[in-house]
């Protein structure tokens, strides 16, 4: 009965995607669902004594619905551009090749696809279904800040009340079972290194992984800083302090790297000098080189965890093939997302990297355009944050395996949404081939009038 209730709620929310004005009301609960997923379903399954597989299908329900909505409704409304077709075509090619050449069993390949590529497909389709108006963007920003604050509070309480016994944590048994499933020779006492560091808890809040929580808390801090730059509100400074606390109790170094890196990029993007802004787009590559060089040269913060990444990069160079090994072949292996995707997708990973570069260029253009002409404060916050988050995520990809986390999905969802608020002049591929529709024209004029009213009411100094 409980699974029927979950599925009914999923279908009801998915129907909101049909209209662009209500589509975001389906996305917001989905974000909450992803944040609470680990904690909610682990405890529900322990309480009920069985696996709730159908109740975990919100992603699939939204994916199927958004495919129907986009191709049956949104294409007719001319929201697609040539680059959208190119990107979806790339995703389709990588999907087919990855499933055909795989060395893994079909179920393993599909599970790997579900965490690696399906979130990106879903994010791109949802961005085409949603109309990113200022009111909806404000709701999304407030939701993300609220979820970040709650997650940090829970983590701080976990850290303060930890009794020193790793087995007393809510995720110990699940993590151990997962490790043994991936490697039957795994030594159970090693699991303590995922839960404890230097005798203190590596707090994970409602996430299974402390790394996932640290990255989520760091992105929460980046959003707070971007909001502070644009809104000048003391509450945003408080959220920044909370994010630092969250990263601190997670005891994961990448969180501090993301905060420092992202805050710096936010300030550099305020420059009107194109040279400085161009250097921002290249900064992730420089940061990756610095991190790997630090590890290779035996930096003072090195430990077996960081040193173990170098042999993995050597393995990538030895085993890389243009065709890749296919989905599922390296499921659950490697600490680095870049190594994992390189071995899984082969040349597809290079296309993947070019697509992320293209997305970053579009976001930088949108950010520069909004800075020049001015725009609603919520649009400017979204575009700046989406760009900074994407560039910071590239650094995270180099040292951590991030697929399956809520942060992985949000990086692409916010990036795709941000490209939709850029209204710099360009010709739509469909606009030149389909006739104008009266209802859509009226709706567009109404949205424009609403935007003018919101800008007048909510205008905030940049």
What confidence score (pLDDT) does residue 461 get? 37
Provide the token pair at 210: 């402390």
Buried b (16+ CB within 10 A) or exposed e, 27-50: bbebbebbbbbbbbbbeebeeeee
Provide the token pair at 401: 């395996």
What confidence score (pLDDT) does residue 349 get? 85
Cα–Cα distance, 89 to 85 (Å, whole number): 6
pLDDT per residue rounded down to tens, the chain (462 residues) = 788 999 999 999 999 998 888 999 999 999 999 999 999 999 998 888 888 888 999 999 999 999 888 877 766 666 666 777 777 778 888 888 888 888 788 888 888 888 888 999 999 999 888 888 999 999 999 999 999 999 999 999 999 999 989 999 999 888 888 888 777 777 887 888 889 988 899 999 999 999 999 999 999 999 999 999 999 999 999 999 999 999 999 999 999 999 999 999 999 998 888 888 889 999 999 998 888 888 777 655 555 556 666 677 778 888 888 888 888 888 877 778 888 888 888 888 888 888 899 899 999 999 999 988 878 999 999 999 999 999 999 999 888 888 888 999 999 999 999 998 855 434 333 334 444 443 343 334 334 443 333 334 344 333
What are the residues whose beta carbons fall under 8 Å from the beta carbon of 17, sequence distance 6 or more? 23, 26, 62, 65, 66, 69, 126, 129
CB 303 within 8 A of CB 399: no
Half-sphere exposure for 310 (CA within 13 Å, toward CB): 14
What confidence score (pLDDT) does residue 17 get? 92
Provide the token pair at 76: 């007719």
Of 187, 367, 370, 203, nearest to 277 (Cα)? 367
Report the run of H or E that residue 201 belongs to, with start and end.
strand 200-201
| Burial class for 415, CB neighbours closer than 10 Å (0-12, 13-18, 19+) | buried
Cα–Cα distance, 436 to 77 (Å, whole number): 9
What confidence score (pLDDT) does residue 304 get? 57
**DSSP label at residue 169:** S
Sign of the torsion formed by the C-alpha atoms of 417, 125, 403 and 10 = positive
Q: How far is CA 286 from CA 95, 237, 291, 342, 395, in A?
A: 30, 28, 9, 19, 9
Cα–Cα distance, 294 to 27 (Å, whole number): 40
* CA angle 234–241–366, rounded 5-degree value: 70
Beta bridge partners of 197: 200
Q: Any idea how long the chain is? A: 462
Please count the other Cβ atoms lying within 10 Å of the Cβ belonging to residue 109.
22
3-state class (DSSP) for residue 203:
coil
3-state class (DSSP) for residue 200:
strand
- Residue 102 falls in which region: left (phi positive, over 0), alpha (psi -120 to 50) or beta: beta
Cα–Cα distance, 83 to 391 (Å, whole number): 20
Report the run of H or E that residue 197 belongs to, with start and end.
strand 196-197
Our CA dihedral for 58, 61, 65, 67, rounded to 10 degrees, sits at: 100
């Amino acid at each position: 009965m409980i699974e029927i209730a979950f599925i009914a709620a999923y279908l009801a929310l998915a129907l909101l995607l049909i209209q662009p004005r209500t589509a975001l009301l389906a996305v917001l609960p989905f974000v909450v669902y992803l944040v609470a997923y680990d904690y909610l379903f682990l405890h529900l399954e322990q309480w009920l004594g069985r696996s709730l597989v159908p109740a975990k299908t919100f992603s699939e329900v939204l994916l199927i619905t958004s495919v129907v909505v986009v191709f049956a409704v949104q294409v007719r409304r001319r929201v697609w551009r040539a680059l959208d077709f190119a990107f979806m075509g790339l995703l389709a090619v990588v999907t087919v090749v990855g499933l055909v050449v795989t060395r893994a069993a079909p179920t393993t390949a599909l599970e790997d696809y579900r965490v690696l590529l399906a979130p990106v497909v879903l994010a791109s389709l949802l961005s085409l279904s949603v109309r990113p108006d200022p009111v909806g963007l404000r709701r999304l920003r407030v939701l993300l800040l609220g979820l970040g604050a709650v997650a940090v509070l829970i983590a701080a309480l976990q850290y303060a009340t930890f009794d020193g016994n790793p087995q007393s944590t809510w995720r110990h048994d699940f993590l151990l079972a997962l490790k043994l499933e991936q490697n039957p020779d795994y030594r159970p006492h090693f699991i303590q290194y995922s839960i404890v560091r230097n005798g203190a808890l590596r707090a994970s809040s409602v996430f299974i992984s402390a790394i996932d929580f640290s990255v989520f808390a760091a992105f929460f801090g980046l959003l707070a800083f971007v909001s502070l730059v644009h809104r000048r509100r003391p509450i945003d400074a408080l959220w920044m302090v909370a994010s630092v606390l969250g990263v601190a109790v997670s005891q994961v170094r990448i969180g501090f790297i993301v905060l420092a890196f992202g805050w710096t990029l936010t300030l550099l993007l305020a420059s009107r000098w194109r040279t400085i802004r161009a250097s921002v787009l290249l900064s992730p590559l420089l940061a990756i080189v610095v991190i790997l060089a630090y590890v290779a040269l035996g930096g003072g913060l090195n430990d077996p965890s960081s040193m173990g990444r170098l042999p993995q990069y050597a393995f990538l160079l030895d085993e890389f093939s243009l065709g890749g090994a296919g989905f599922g072949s390296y499921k659950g292996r490697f600490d680095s997302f870049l190594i994992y995707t390189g071995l899984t997708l082969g040349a597809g990973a290079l296309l993947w990297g070019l697509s992320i570069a293209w997305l970053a260029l579009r976001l930088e253009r949108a950010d520069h355009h909004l800075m020049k002409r001015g725009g609603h404060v919520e649009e400017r916050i979204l575009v700046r944050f989406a760009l900074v988050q994407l560039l910071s995520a590239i650094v995270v990809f180099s040292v951590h395996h991030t697929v399956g986390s809520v942060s992985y999905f949000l990086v692409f969802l916010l990036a795709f949404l941000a490209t939709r608020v850029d209204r710099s002049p360009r010709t739509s591929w469909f606009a030149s081939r389909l006739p104008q529709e009266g209802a859509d024209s009226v709706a567009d004029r109404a949205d424009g009038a609403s935007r003018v009213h919101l800008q007048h009411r909510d205008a905030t100094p940049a």
